[in-house]
Chain A
Amino acid sequence: AQSVSQHNHHVILSEAASLELGCNYSYGGTVNLFWYVQYPGQHLQLLLKYFSGDPLVKGIKGFEAEFIKSKFSFNLRKPSVQWSDTAEYFCAVNKPNFGNEKLTFGTGTRLTIIP
């Protein structure tokens, strides 16, 4: 079965620390990759996405992610986190197939930033 794995369930960092959240998927072939974020009390919103082209994708709020096809990975990074980055982060994947656009989400990583 197709799956998306986020191995870090809860990450705690101090402000200004660097962040890397792991995401691995089990699909073969062409994929679309996403990171969504859910801030406390808010609904999910798109952080960044990769469809094709440059495997290093830049998103909002200083986040970036790198698609490494050989490793089936799409890790999320930020060089210096802020307290406002406290949120739950979800990696998601779909296989482009017109009429079957379903996203599969990972289990999420809760990020807590300590001031």
Chain B
Amino acid sequence: NAGVTQTPKFRILKIGQSMTLQCTQDMNHNYMYWYRQDPGMGLKLIYYSVGAGITDKGEVPNGYNVSRSTTEDFPLRLELAAPSQTSVYFCASSYSGVSGANVLTFGAGSRLTVL
């Protein structure tokens, strides 16, 4: 049971380039999330999804896009990379059949540097 798998683990981008961070979970979780972690800032929610075909913005969605075509996959796309998007990105998933059961399983993270 792999849990939440993120790829790539590291990536360096030039300003203006685009890329997709991949996230896959094999736990049949209906909820998935993308967070970014910056030093001294904690984790900020970028986008989340409560099920296939449904996505919604979090606290810091600007510059990012997501899609959720299947239960397992939740890719995060950066269209025009900017230095402000240098961060560590974490994908997470959870099952919440009833309100209050939300416990997140995190991926190992993707460290992105934009130069």
Binding site for B on A (CB under 8 A): 6, 9, 32, 34, 36, 42-46, 49, 51-52, 90, 94, 96-99, 101-108
Do A90 and B42 touch across chains, with their CB atoms under 8 A apart? yes
CB of A102 to closest CB in B, whole Å: 6
Residues of the B chain whose Cβ atoms lie less than 8 Å from the Cβ of A46: 103-104
Give the most central of B33, B41, B58, B99: most A CB within 10 Å: B99
User: Given A43-B90, A103-B104: A96 and B43 within 8 A (CB)?
Assistant: no
CB of A94 within 8 A of CB of B102, answer yes
Q: Is there an interface contact between B103 and A43, defined as CB atoms closer than 8 Å?
A: no
B100 at the interface (CB under 8 A from A): yes
Is B99 within 8 A of A43, CB to CB? no
Complex: A99 Cα to B99 Cα, angstroms = 8
Q: Give Cα distance in the complex from A8 to B58, angstroms.
A: 26
Q: A51-B100, A96-B100, A102-B58 are in contact. List 5 more A-B contacts (CB 8 A).
A: A90-B43, A94-B102, A102-B33, A102-B48, A108-B40
* Closest A residue by C-beta to B43: A105
Interchain CB contact under 8 A, B40 and A9: yes
Contact B106 A32 (CB under 8 A): no
Give every chain B residue within 8 A of A98 (Cβ-Cβ).
Answer: 96, 98-99
- Asked whether any CB of chain A lies closer than 8 Å to the CB of B78, the reply is no
* CB nearest neighbor in A for B40: A107
Q: Which residues of A contact B33 (CB under 8 A)?
A: 102-103
Chain B residues with CB below 8 A from A102, complex form: 33, 45, 48, 58
Tell whether A49 pairs with B103 under 8 Å between CB atoms, given A43-B90, A98-B98, A99-B50.
yes
CA distance A101 to B48 in the complex (A): 9
- Can you show 11 pairs from A to B with CB atoms below 8 A apart? A43-B106, A97-B99, A98-B98, A98-B99, A99-B50, A101-B31, A103-B102, A104-B45, A105-B42, A106-B42, A108-B42
Contacts of B101 in A (CB 8 A): 51
Contact A32 B108 (CB under 8 A): no
Q: Which residues of A contact B98 (CB under 8 A)?
A: 98
Residues in A with CB closer than 8 Å to B100 are 32, 51-52, 96
- Closest-CB distance, B65 to chain A (whole angstroms): 18
How far does the Cβ of B22 sit from chain A's closest Cβ, in whole Å?
16
